[in-house]
Amino acid sequence: MAGVDLSTVMDLLGHSNITMALRNAHLAPGHKIKTMEILDNAIGQKPTIQKLYNFQNSKS
């Protein structure tokens, strides 16, 4: 979330694989919303909180 790529964090923390790094990477809700806005802007769509809600519920 601070602009450092996950691969570098994985190496620095000694994680043996990306799965372990992802298990310990917890994104704040605000960070997810900001990411959705960036992606929406890249494809020319208006950001909505509904998209984030749908995304989070699709993972369960």
Q: What percent of the chain has pLDDT over 90?
A: 0
Binned at pLDDT 50, 70 and 90, residue 36 comes out as confident
In a domain, 25, yes or no: yes
Q: Which of 26, 33, 27 lies closest to 51, judged by CA?
A: 33
Instruction: Report yes or no on 10 lying in a domain.
Output: yes
Residue 23 lies in a domain: yes
DSSP string, 1-60: --S--HHHHHHHHT-SSHHHHHHH----HHHHHHHHHHHHHHHT----HHHHHHHHHHT-
Does residue 13 fall inside a structural domain? yes
- With a cut of 80, say whether residue 44 has pLDDT above it: no
Looking at the domain assignment, is residue 42 inside a domain?
A: yes
pTM: 0.40
Q: Is the pLDDT of residue 17 over 80?
A: yes
How far, CA to CA in Å, does 34 sit from each of 12, 15, 50? Answer: 26, 27, 14
Report if residue 1 sits inside a domain: no
Q: How many domains does the chain have?
A: 1
